[in-house]
């Protein structure tokens, strides 16, 4: 409900908006950078070119405490024969939109971007 000075949110809606903001801000999740046994893999600098780009989503329960999907780079590095790799974990626009609904039941999503060069 809007009211007060300048149409500020008041009453029980204020608590709901604050609670939603805290839930979205408190969610986390871990992505493990793992390589196949016996293979040497180096990390790419941010400005180095990469010929392979893999973008996928990782789901977590308990606001990031328990992975529900593969949260490791092992399979991607093995499948694409990468010897140089750069891993970025982001919460993009659609992750945020989806998390606005799913965070109430403890599920959150992150986008993992794996870039690299085969060798």
Other beta carbons less than 10 A from residue 31's beta carbon: 17
Query: In terms of DSSP H, where are the helices of the chain?
Result: 12-26, 74-79, 93-102
pLDDT digits (tens, 9 = 90+) for 48-99: 999 999 999 999 999 888 999 999 999 999 999 999 999 999 988 998 888 8
DSSP-based three-state secondary structure for 19: helix
Please give the average per-residue pLDDT across 19-39, as a whole number.
79
Please give the average per-residue pLDDT across 10-22, as a whole number.
69
The pLDDT mean for the chain works out to: 86
Q: Contact at 8 Å (CB) between 57 and 80? A: no
Tokens standing for residue 49: 């070119």
> Residue 45 CA to chain centroid, in angstroms?
20
């Amino acid at each position: 409900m809007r009211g007060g000075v300048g149409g500020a949110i008041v009453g029980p809606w204020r608590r709901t908006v604050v609670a939603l903001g805290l839930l979205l801000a408190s969610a986390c999740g871990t992505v493990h950078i793992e390589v196949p046994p016996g293979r040497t893999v180096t990390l790419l600098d941010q400005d180095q070119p990469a010929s392979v780009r893999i973008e996928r989503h990782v789901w977590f329960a308990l606001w990031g405490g328990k992975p529900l999907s593969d949260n490791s780079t092992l399979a991607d590095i093995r499948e694409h024969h990468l010897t140089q790799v750069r891993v970025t974990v982001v919460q993009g626009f659609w992750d945020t939109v989806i998390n606005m609904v799913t965070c109430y039941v403890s599920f959150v999503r992150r986008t993992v971007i794996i870039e690299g060069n085969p060798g």
